Amino acid sequence: MNSEGTCPHFGTCGGCTLYHLDAPTYITHKSDLLTTALDRAGYPDIALNPIARTGPGERRRMDLAARRLHIGISLGLHRTRSTEVVDLSTCLVLDPSLVALFPPLRDLLRRLQCFRREASVIANLLDTGPDLLLRSDAPLTLPDRLALTEFARSHALPRISWAHTKSEPEPIAVLRPPTTTLSGVTITPPPGAFLQASRSGETAIIDAVLTALPSKGRVAELYAGCGSLTFALARQTRVSAWEGDAASVGALRSAANHAGLAGRIEVKHRDLARQPLQPKELSAFSAVVLDPPYAGAAAQIAQIVVAKVPVVIYVSCNPATLARDARTLRQAGYRLITAQPIDQFLWSGELESVCIFASTI
């Protein structure tokens, strides 16, 4: 059984489905997720690098669902295979400073008029504190604005933002710069921005990526986000970074300029799912680094293999879509050089990985 503590929500909360496994069984299961994916792609008998692990209490991002019930507010994660929200009293995965926000968040949500039935709370733990984004199902009122501002003051939040369902976020209170550092560069991420789930996971990804960079030539970075990999890459080579989210593009470009890296980092806004880079554009690069969303990068991989980019460094958060995209690479003559599993999603059925492919043509 697990020796990291006792979680009162295991068995109902859908987050930690592997929490009950002992350490050796757990590590084998996680590694097997990557081995199986690569075998499906046509790369059998691959010797994986030892798995890099993230510990309890390290997760710096939380994405909670909220529901208003007749008995009060339910705030947490969904029940396994259900839309029901499990009301969490604790979470062994999250940084304790985020867990400490659970009770006051419930009290805040109870009082908000903009929250009628369903809402979500996204928090990124930045260097300057927890950066909160609330999405709710009704318009924001003046009392709501005052309540959110007071919540930010009371709990030392650098920024609290709000959005109506899927609309663009609006900062409600910015009490100090909401900043964090990525590979030594200070950046102001947009509300709710994608960051790697933990610092240790981010470090493991960067280490695996940097070991595979060619000694010469430029690198194309696809799905760059706010720069989780960009600034680390720029220490070794010139980078052209593409990202589809306009707010993330703005944050990445501003941080690069302020750090004096404009000559090493070129940032471009582009939806790579709808408009992937074409072979002619890719031909200028000695390597492609891509960190696609959960759905993978089928459209972009199809263009990469036509361009015959010498080295493809694929950062994956989904073994299933990795298997699909890696199969395309194998069919085009790419060898799998190394595969690094990273247990960034502790006790869940998900796995991060970094796979390095080299063209044989």
The residue from 7, 114, 317, 355 that is catalytic is 317
3-state SS class at 111: helix
Nearest to 354 by CA among 220, 244, 221, 204: 204
Residue pair 141/87 in contact by the 8 Å Cβ criterion: no
3-state SS class at 257: helix
3-state SS class at 286: strand
Q: Which residues contact 120 (CB under 8 A, 6 or more apart)?
A: 63, 64, 65, 66, 134, 135
Maximum alpha-carbon separation in the chain:
64
Task: Give bridge partners of residue 74 from the DSSP assignment.
Answer: 67
Locus of tokens 């990202």:
243
- For residue 186, give the DSSP letter: E
Take residue 329 and report the two structure tokens written for it.
């690479």
Residue pair 76/88 in contact by the 8 Å Cβ criterion: yes
Q: Which residues contact 100 (CB under 8 A, 6 or more apart)?
A: none
Helices (H), 197-297: 199-210, 230-234, 246-258, 279-282
3-state SS class at 284: coil
CA–CA gap between residue 88 and residue 99 (Å, rounded): 9
* Whether residue 317 lies in the annotated active site: yes
In terms of DSSP bridges, do strands 285-290 and 218-222 run parallel, antiparallel, or are they unpaired? parallel
CA–CA gap between residue 172 and residue 1 (Å, rounded): 45
Task: Give bridge partners of residue 315 from the DSSP assignment.
Answer: 354
Q: What is the H or E stretch that residue 324 is in?
A: helix 319-331
Q: Is 43 exposed, middle or buried (0-12, 13-18, 19+ CB in 10 A)?
A: buried
Residues carrying an active site annotation = 317
